Structure 1
Amino acid sequence: MIRRPLRPLARILKARAEGGNPDAIEAENLRLRHEEMRDRARARAEGRLVVLGACFFIAFATIGGRMGVMAASETSEPEVSAGGNPIIGTRAEIVDRNGRVLATNLDTHALYVQTRDMIDPEAAARGLVEIFPDMDEEDLLEKFTGARNFHWLRRQISPEQMQAVHELGQPGLLFGPREMRLYPNGSVGAHLLGGATYGDEGVNAAELKGVAGVERYFDAYLSDPANEGAPLQLSIDLSVQAAIERVLQGGMMLMNAKGAAAVLMDVHSGEILSMVSLPDFDPNNRPVAVEGDRDDSPVFNRALQGVYELGSVFKIFAISQALELGLLGPDTMVDTQGPLTWGRFRINDFHNYGPELSATDVIVRSSNVGIARIAMQIGATRQRAFLGELGFLEPTTVEMVEAPTGAPLLPANWSEISTMTISYGHGLSASPLHLAQGYASLLNGGTRVSPTLLRRTGPIVPGPRVVSERVSAAARSMLRQVVVRGTASFGEVPGYEVGGKTGTADKPRPQGGYYDDRVIATFASVFPADDPRYVLIVTLDEPVETSGSEPRRTAGWTAVPVAAEVIRRAAPLLGLRPDVESVVPTSVTLTATR
């Protein structure tokens, strides 16, 4: 900065020459210097005030904005962060093929006690017993006065129970947030879903883990945060599942059966639209498995884990293999003269069908002797290989943890007599789901399908070919004749062309041999038979139809009417329109008016 001189020499000399006063020049310059200094100081002060005001404005604006955000957000209690991996509490939902919820989560609380904070243990124990009658007052008091400082009292409590505990006024009774697994449809699809329970637990969170069914099979997916809560979509149709469960429950009671199972599957994709096992349970309160016969346990899945000798429903496989090998045609006559003797074994028919029947009528009349003679032509090696292609030699690959426990029971020595008895469904035990897979693979045009509980959205890729399309069409025609004029006449459903085969197998005794008055009755069906879309398997355990003078246990009297009602209820829900023949007028009358 250049300072102005107070006594500039040129002006002083000029003022002296003109007789002026040089001191006036100095005074004037001094005044100007002071004014300039004052102006600069004022400008600096004003600038500092502006900056300070701007800082205050920004600070107040920030504080005000933050207060507004806090006021608009939901309140939450601060939590102290702890080291280690957090417990994952959120579990993805499970939905059906149409997006309807099968399993979801519900916020609740757990109840625990910190005994060091208890004021009046006796009053707390009395109060909790009034709220939770199943608790024992002496046991609670022992916990409250014992050496341990922490005890879980309830894994889940309702809001009403939580409020009642609050009103006890005991500071040692505390609540931990929880998510409970909720199945809003109750017992519908219970065996499929399985159920869930708590794994790792902490005061502020708990991990939900599957215990059975798809909940356990897809446990990693359902608990993976990387999926961002995307639901697991199953192939099940909730409406169809509920309808079949209701019909099957009624049929089981009407036929006095011990249990029942049903499988409805898409013949092309292998998608399971419904899988039912009765008796069932509520997965919201899953029971423990009972000791003794596993068939008596409600958690036992008859459709998947139940392996039975399924009877004459196997006959279509022997006929189809013989057609594929060129051993016979649909109209080839087969010797049905009985009994058929092999060593000490004698094979008889339920009725005397005469000396011979066509191959088609062997299926329609369900001749054991005829199908056994056909099986002898096929041979054990080829029969075993063919049933293996249909999936009868290994557990199904369906996405459930119980699938490996449903392994078929095969003969230790696949001899010629085994070949004959297996051809009509004795000597090899399989599950209803195995049977659904075999029928779908045989009747969909002849390509193998694998059952699945996941909805498939992409194009269907055909599996390995099992039989030719010609043989598949012939098998469907034979099964249609069984309903039209054979043992499954009660299976006719107007508007839906149903084809199927009955099977009645004596139940084996635990000590060996078979019961005389206990059977497994099965009806394996396909609809529409001319252009198959779905396979339905209905199995009844120890049914007895008592409307006549004598009890009737065969599948034609027990399983077939139940399956027909299932189709009648389920087909419209599946979007299948009934094929109603239009009435063709026999004559036309022309009238004229004037």
Structure 2
Amino acid sequence: MAMTAEQLSATIALDGARKVRGNLTQARIRWMVLAILLGFSLVGARLVQLGLTETDSAIEGQARDVITATRPPILDRNGLEMAVDIRVPSLYAEPRRIIDVEEAVRKLRTVLPNLSESWLRERLSGDQGFVWVQRELSPSIEEKVMRLGIPGIDFITESKRFYPGMTEASHILGSTNIDNRGIAGIEKHMDSEDIALLQDLGLARGNALAPVELSVDMRVQHVMHEQLVDAMTRYQAIAAAGVMMDIHTGEIIALASVPDFNPNEPATALVKDSFNRITAGIFEPGSIFKTVTMAGAIDSGAVKLTDEFDARFGVRFGRFTIEDFHGKHRILKLPEVYKYSSNVGTIHVMQAMGKDNFRAFLSRVGFDARVPFELPEMRLPTVPKSFSDVGAATASFGHGLSVSPLHMLTAYAAFVNGGNYVPPTLYKRSVAEAEPLYRRVIQPETSEAIRYLMRLNAIGAGGSGSQMNKLALGFRVGGKTGTAEKVVDGRYSSNKVTNFFGSAFPLENPRYAMVIMVDEPKAENPQSGTTAGWNAGTVTGRIVQRVAPMLGIAPDFSPLLDESLVPPALQGGPVGSHFN
């Protein structure tokens, strides 16, 4: 059938329309594909950009893993907690995410009114990543802030150090700053240890931290601290301090110095006179140094316990004459020189040894060097490199040189443990671990002689340790008093003294040495005095009486224990006659 002109024209028009619609559809598809590809390209580029951008994971330069890191708990030798970490919330802000600064300031100050409005506004403004707002808040404050619903405000949980014993062991433990880093005491020492030692002790940050076990016995520490606080009140002293050591291991069993501070409030450590007098203070030791002179002279062979010395007259040096405080003004046997604390007799003992040999002995015992010890708060002693005749004379009874109580403690420990210097430590240490560190300073026979002299001063008639012995009866303590006049306006003052008592117990089988200091004491009552026997000595007696049973030492009143201390050269005669 033939197609008319009108039909042919309609067919051509329909085909043209179809072709146009097909071309349009293809164009739309191409544009759609192009748009999708462009979208994916933009997303991919952004992902690449974000991947190359370093995420700000620090708060004011502090990495978050450091902020949240914990410190190891510190335990005493019996497992009692001395320092622990507690988890506390700290408030921070992301200024870039804060929408309305004024609203954020107003809301935050409803919960934290102590924050300065201008300071907070400046803190929350700008494009910083993360800034601290307030650290170490309580959980209740955290809950109140979170209820405010402020964008860009959040909390991070960090560690805060807590010391259950408060002030009792403050000078041992030290403290940490707001970043939980050690700034004093054993806390600072732990942070300054090298990596290998940190791993040995289980202190590596960020790991599961093993507890650090100290040598301190908090039972003994409590008694010592309590008695030192009592001494300041009882004797109206300006300060008091004490330290006790295991003479075979070098372990420090207790160490306290008052005035002290609360490590939970580190700022209290800045209060005047709250420094650690055991390690960071150096003093003229007075007559407790006579034990050093006796040990050196006897060990040199220059003198014997049976020797006699002329103490009838003072010793003259040019225009100056050195006299005894309570002179006997007669010939004294060497044990009497020690028991009566004769300056004149001690000078003669030193002179028999020779001033150069005496000075060399001081170096041997460690008096001209820093005591090797963990606490960073230390002072170097002041001991002349060489002695003049008068310098050696005054040094023989503890004047003209200054050392720390820790120096005296390590010396006394060596003098009664058989003659071995043992470096002190605040960490637990066994005898087997300590023995390789021993350094012989005197012979065992000299050590026996010193133990006898120290016990003689406690129980012998006229001995300056008799007040101490009355309080520690049965525990066989021996020791030496030291009353050192202070220098005021360039002259020694008889009104201001620093008193010491160096001791060891039980002397028939010594285990512990102790040094007690009382600074500027006054008489407890009209019947007492201000010399060391009346204060530092009695503090020693009270401490031993309470802590000896804790340390496994039983009281024993048998005179045979004391008789066993008498050296062979002095044996013979009635029982008990050697301590008259």
Contact 2:284 2:402 in 1 (8 A): yes
Aligned to 1:311: 286
Contact 1:379 1:416 in 2 (8 A): no
Give unpaired runs (5+ residues) of structure 1. 1-79, 200-207, 583-594
**What is the alpha-carbon root mean square deviation over aligned residues?**
2.5
User: 3-state SS of the aligned residue for 1:518?
Assistant: strand
Aligned to 1:517: 495
Matches within 5 A, 1:68-217: 87-88=65-66, 89-118=69-98, 121-122=101-102, 124-125=104-105, 128-129=108-109, 131-132=111-112, 134-145=114-125, 150-199=130-179, 208-217=180-189
Q: Which structure would you say has the larger Rg?
A: 1
Aligned to 2:482: 503
Q: Deviations over 1:492-544 (max 9, x none)?
A: 112200100000001123x5223332111000011111211100110011111
Aligned to 2:265: 285
Aligned to 2:273: 297
Which of 404, 417, 420 is residue 431 of structure 1 equivalent to?
Answer: 404
Which of 230, 241, 248 is residue 210 of structure 2 equivalent to?
Answer: 230
Contact 2:303 2:353 in 1 (8 A): no
Aligned to 2:241: 261
User: 3-state SS of the aligned residue for 2:65?
Assistant: coil
Shift of 1:443: 0.9
Aligned to 2:37: none
Q: Deviations over 1:563-583 (max 9, x none)?
A: 11111121122121222459x
Q: Deviations over 1:243-273 (max 9, x none)?
A: 2111111112111111111010011111110
Contact 1:96 1:234 in 2 (8 A): yes
Question: What's the TM-score, normalizing by structure 1?
Answer: 0.77
Aligned to 1:588: none
Q: Deviations over 1:263-313 (max 9, x none)?
A: 10011111110111111111121126649xxxx332x11011110001000
Contact 2:244 2:513 in 1 (8 A): yes
Which amino acid in the other structure matches residue 65 of structure 2?
I
Q: Distance in 1 between matches of 2:221 and 2:558?
A: 29
Q: Deviations over 1:125-144 (max 9, x none)?
A: 45544544543334324434
Q: 1:368 to 1:581 in 2, by over 3 A?
A: closer
Which amino acid in the other structure matches residue 550 of structure 2?
L
Which amino acid in the other structure matches residue 490 of structure 1?
Q
Question: What's the TM-score, normalizing by structure 2?
Answer: 0.78
Which amino acid in the other structure matches residue 491 of structure 2?
G
- 2:371 pairs with 1:396: yes
Aligned to 2:417: 444
Alignment size in residue pairs: 486
Which of 455, 463, 469 is residue 480 of structure 1 equivalent to?
Answer: 455
Aligned to 2:468: 491
Q: 1:308 to 1:396 in 2, by over 3 A?
A: same
Q: Distance in 2 between matches of 1:302 and 1:350?
A: 27
Aligned to 2:29: none
Aligned to 1:41: none
Q: 1:260 to 1:114 in 2, by over 3 A?
A: same
Which of 267, 270, 273 is residue 253 of structure 2 equivalent to?
Answer: 273
Which amino acid in the other structure matches residue 508 of structure 1?
V
Give unpaired runs (5+ residues) of structure 2. 1-54, 560-580
Aligned to 1:353: 328
Q: Distance in 2 between matches of 1:508 and 1:127?
A: 60
User: 3-state SS of the aligned residue for 1:495?
Assistant: coil
Q: 1:132 to 1:494 in 2, by over 3 A?
A: farther
Q: Distance in 2 between matches of 1:226 and 1:254?
A: 48
Contact 1:379 1:419 in 2 (8 A): no
Q: Distance in 2 between matches of 1:515 and 1:319?
A: 27
| The 10-residue stretch of structure 1 (532-541 or 105-114) with the greater mean CA deviation from structure 2 | 105-114
Q: Deviations over 1:217-240 (max 9, x none)?
A: 121426515974122211111111
Aligned to 1:386: 361
Which of 224, 243, 256 is residue 223 of structure 2 equivalent to?
Answer: 243
Q: 1:458 to 1:466 in 2, by over 3 A?
A: closer
Q: 1:454 to 1:439 in 2, by over 3 A?
A: same
